[in-house]
Amino acid sequence: VTAPASKVSLGYDSVLSGVNPDLASERLTASFSVEKLTARLDGGAEHTRMRRAIVEAIESDPAFSRENQYFQSQNERYEAAVRRAVHLQKKMREMGWTENGPEIKYIYRWLSGDIAFLLHRVFMRSISVLGSDKQVAKWIPLATEHQIIGSYAQTELGHGTYLQGLETTAVFDIATQEFLLNTPKISAMKWWPGDMGRSATHTVVFAQLYVHGKCYGVHPFIVQIRSLQDHSPRPGVTVGDIGPKMNFEHTDNGYLMLQNVRVPRENMLSRFCEVQPDGTYVRWGSQKINYFTMTTVRISILSDEVILPLMKACTIAIRYSAVRRQSKLKPGEQEAKILDYQTQQQKLLPQLAAAYAFHFINIYLHELFDRGYQEIQGRNFDSLPELHAFSSGFKAMVTQYCTSGVEICLRACGGHGYSLLSGLPSLYTRVLASCIYEGENTVLFLQTARFLIKCFMAASAGQPIPPSVTYLSSAKPGKCPAKDKLDFLSPDVYLKFFQFSRLLSSSAAKLQHLIQSGAEKHEAWNQCTVQLVKAAQAHCHYITVKIFVETVEKLDNKAGIQKVMKHLCDLFALHGIFSNAGDFLYDGYLSGAQMDLVTASYLDLLAVIRMDAVPLVDAFDFTDKSLNSALGSYDGQVYQRLYEWAQKSPTNQQVSPAYGKYLKPLLQNRLSKL
């Protein structure tokens, strides 16, 4: 029996030589320049060069190696993350990188968040934004020098997204000019804050402020929780780690219970409001800027925490699908690459298209928010409701889509996807947390829906509405004019599909109907929420397709990039129609026969994009070390890598104590002695 040429013979033990021919052949047929597309994704060849230089500097430093991460226990992961964070400080000084420099985003992107003190950065940001100049001057230098380590304690055991419900209290004591902080009941315990379980010395605690028995709502306080000498908890403080989670094992998410803990009056962050020595509560400036910060955080997580994992998952799954051969498509031929199966293409290629769609929508959102920020600086708050609606809806849609996309990639890799060494389980368990943090998705969709309903009502009453939603007031479309499956590759045709606002208009009608028939407002709202969530999703979907179309139009067609992006854009749109057929067939906008044409056109596109699938993931330009996957490496030497990596598992490095203690007596039939 001789091994087929494409397989690695055992004679090559421990030598990974060259690129697997199955992957090399995929790169020969690329219809576009991978390097040019990478530069486009990075925002220019300059950026690509800088990114690569930084990645090279980090990867060549063994202190940042993540090779063992899949083998480590929670304790070991935590220690490694702290070690890396400490080492990073040293590295940054060596390299002349700074926290505010252009390098920083590439550094953190490469680290994939697998590092301690990320909440320390949030701690610093919250002081910079919410603190008075005096507070900033006092705390920021200490934090920058790591003389203190901070965290950010908002979420409680009993309350998350609904901030007004927080139960921790801060009562002002005029006599001592201090706030008295308390955790009045178990559900009020702070729960989840990162870096707090073991590392932090200080944290920003969000608590209900009471002065003279009156509650002024939730405010932030700087609280020291551990001794700066021996790191033991301060009197009145109970603090610890909340235990193992689905991922983030390197992070010491913590709990915090406060019993009559006193902090000086000056520790309430007071850029916008203050309690004066006599207990007078004053508020100045606009709360709205504060509100703006929260909405920008939702957008800021999308790139690194949400879209990047989907890009990595696509890279791993598509490269592996070009290497994995299984079953025969034609008798007598070699077994086929699984990427050649239509069912495999249908799983993976829409995810690839979505990764590109979200990359572009992310750029758009950042531009939108930068503009919004300028306006707000100029005291113009008009665009705030729209920005808020955007940030909520897109955070929810992109996290939900990417989470399901990564899971599809995981399952598309069969058994090997289930091994941690594939890299996919840890990508999945990380990205799925994003559906919950920074606002639970269902709640966020409903916030967007509330904005849309308002706009819809305003438009019906002839009032002006923001430009992103003017389509809501356009006339109801008649019938779709498309006659041929090629017609569905025209953006003019498919954009009309997504513009349809029936979900919203019928929700609005139903809301009004319920209220008119005597239902209370809140009850009417609750009864419409299932459909309102769908309406908000449809809105975000439409904007995403629209921005993808506009981006493609602006690309220049050198090096074949515009053409391949147009295919992906079409695929993203048609997949959306194919997956929500009922919404488009309803009302007869699309006939059954037209829906068959959509399906045919969609399936044709799969075969077209299949030819560029590997180059399209190569363009994301992940290094093997940043993918950290046995299945997804650039050279496609999947099996050899899997085999060699598995040997390094601790289970193979040491004799299991289970043998002597249990197996041996069992095997030697001395069961009764156990």
Partner 1 sequence: VRFLFSSALSPEALVINDPDFQHEDLNFLSRSQRYEQAIRKSSLMVMKLREHGIADPDEIYWFKSFVHRGRPEPLDLHLGMFLPTLLTQATPEQQDRFFMPAWNLEIIGTYAQTEMGHGTHLRGLETTATYDPATQEFILNSPTVTSIKWWPGGLGKTSNHAIVLAQLYTQGQCKGLHAFIVPIRQLGTHEPLPGITVGDIGPKFGYDEMDNGYLKMDNFRIPRENMLMKYAQVEPDGTYVKPLNDKLTYGTMVFIRSIIVGDSARSLSRACTIAIRYSAVRHQSELKAGEPEPQILDYQTQQYKLFPLLATAYAFHFVGAYIKDTYRRISGDIIEGDLSELPELHALTAGLKAFTSWTANAGIEECRMACGGHGYSRCSGLPDIYVTFTPSCTYEGENTVMMLQTARFLVKSYTQVSSGQRVTGMVSYLNDLSRQRIQPQHVAARPVTVRINDPISLVEAYKARAARLVEAAAKNLQAELNHRKSKEDAWNRTSVDLVRASEAHCHYVIVKLFTAKLSEISNAAVRAVMTELCLLYALYGISKNTGDFLQAGILTDTQVNQVNQHVKELLAIIRPNAVALVDSFDFHDVHLGSVLGRYDGNVYENMFEWAKKSPLNKTEVHESFHKHLKPMQAKL
Residue 179 token pair = 């706030």
User: Is 7 among the residues that bind partner 1 (CB under 8 A)?
Assistant: yes
- Decide: is 70 part of the binding site for partner 1 (CB under 8 A): yes
Looking up tokens 């921005």 gives: 547
Q: Which of residues 431-470 bind partner 1 (CB under 8 A)?
A: 432-433, 435-437, 440-443, 446
Which of residues 175 and 674 has its CB atom nearest to partner 1 in the complex? 674
Q: Report 76-95 residues binding partner 1 (CB under 8 A).
A: 78-79, 82-83, 86, 89
Q: What are 490's two structure tokens?
A: 């025209």
Q: Kindly determine how many residues on this chain lie close enough to bind partner 1 according to the rule CB under 8 A.
A: 140
Interface with partner 1 in residues 208-237 (CB under 8 A): 230-233
Q: How far is the CB of 63 from partner 1 (least distance, A)?
A: 12
243 near partner 1 (CB under 8 A): yes
Unique residue bearing structure tokens 């943090």:
437
Which residue type occupies 86? Answer: V
- Contact set for partner 1, span 589-618 (CB under 8 A): 592, 595, 599, 603
**Shortest distance in whole angstroms from residue 610 CB to partner 1:** 12
Q: Does 567 bind partner 1 (CB under 8 A)?
A: no
Of 560 and 665, CB closest to partner 1: 665
**Binding residues among 615-654 for partner 1 as defined by CB under 8 A:** 639-640, 642-643, 645-652, 654
Q: How many other C-beta atoms are found inside a 10 Å radius of the C-beta of residue 210?
A: 15
By C-beta, is 342 or 380 nearer to partner 1? 342
Q: How far is the CB of 26 from partner 1 (least distance, A)?
A: 18
Q: Cβ of residue 303: shortest distance to partner 1, in angstroms?
A: 22
Question: Which residue's CB is nearer to partner 1, number 444 or number 561?
Answer: 444
The span from the CA of 303 to the CA of 289, in Å, is 23
When asked if residue 425 is in the footprint of partner 1 (CB under 8 A), the reply is: yes
Nearer to partner 1, 269 or 424 (CB): 424
Catalytic site includes residue 438:
yes
Burial of residue 177 (CB within 10 Å: 0-12, 13-18, 19+) is middle
Nearer to partner 1, 15 or 45 (CB): 15
Least Å from the CB of residue 665 to partner 1: 7
Q: Out of 438, 440, 523, 553, pick the active-site residue.
A: 438
Of 503-522, which residues contact partner 1 (CB under 8 A)? 520, 522
Cβ–Cβ under 8 Å, residues 42 and 622 = no
The amino acid sitting at 113 is G
Window 157 to 196, contacts with partner 1 (CB under 8 A): 157-162, 165, 186-187, 189, 191-192
Cβ proximity to partner 1: between 56 and 523 the closer is: 523
Q: Which helix (H) or strand (E) holds 218?
A: strand 214-224
User: Is 250:79 a contact under the CB 8 Å cutoff?
Assistant: no
Report strand pairing: 202-211 vs 150-153: parallel
What are phi and psi for residue 24, nearest 5 degrees?
A: -60, -40
CB-nearer residue toward partner 1: 180 or 421: 421
Among 126, 151, 199, 544, binds partner 1 (CB under 8 A): 199
Residue 155 marked as a ligand binder: yes
588 is annotated as contributing to ligand binding: no
Going residue by residue from 249 to 278, which x/- string records binding to partner 1, judged by CB under 8 A? Answer: ---x--x-----------------------
- Per DSSP, which regions of 273-411 are E strands? 273-275, 281-283
User: Residue 498, interface with partner 1 (CB under 8 A)?
Assistant: no
Q: Supply the minimum distance, in Å, between the C-beta of residue 422 and partner 1.
A: 9
Q: Which of 523, 550, 557, 558 binds partner 1 (CB under 8 A)?
A: 523
Burial of 196 (0-12, 13-18, 19+ CB in 10 A): buried
Residues 286-345 that bind partner 1 (CB under 8 A): 324-331, 335, 340-344
| 254-258 vs 190-191, strand pairing mode | antiparallel
558-586 burial, b for 16+ CB within 10 Å, e for fewer?
ebbbbebbbbbbbbbbbbbbbebeebbee
Task: Please state, in angstroms and rounded to a whole number, the distance separating the CA atoms of residues 172 and 275.
Answer: 8
Q: Which stretch binds partner 1 (CB under 8 A): 48-56, 68-76, 119-127, 472-480?
A: 68-76
Q: Which residue has the tokens 């009032």?
A: 463
- Give the torsion sign (CA, 447, 453, 456, 462): negative
Report the distance separating Cα 657 and Cα 24, nearest Å. 45
Residues sharing a CB contact under 8 Å with residue 431, sequence separation 6 or more, in sequence order? 305, 306, 309, 310, 399, 402, 403, 406
Identify which of 304, 302, 298, 406 has the alpha carbon closest to the alpha carbon of residue 622.
Answer: 304
Task: Find out whether 267 and 221 touch, Cβ atoms under 8 Å.
Answer: yes
Catalytic residue numbers? 438
Which residues belong to the annotated binding site for FAD?
A: 155, 194
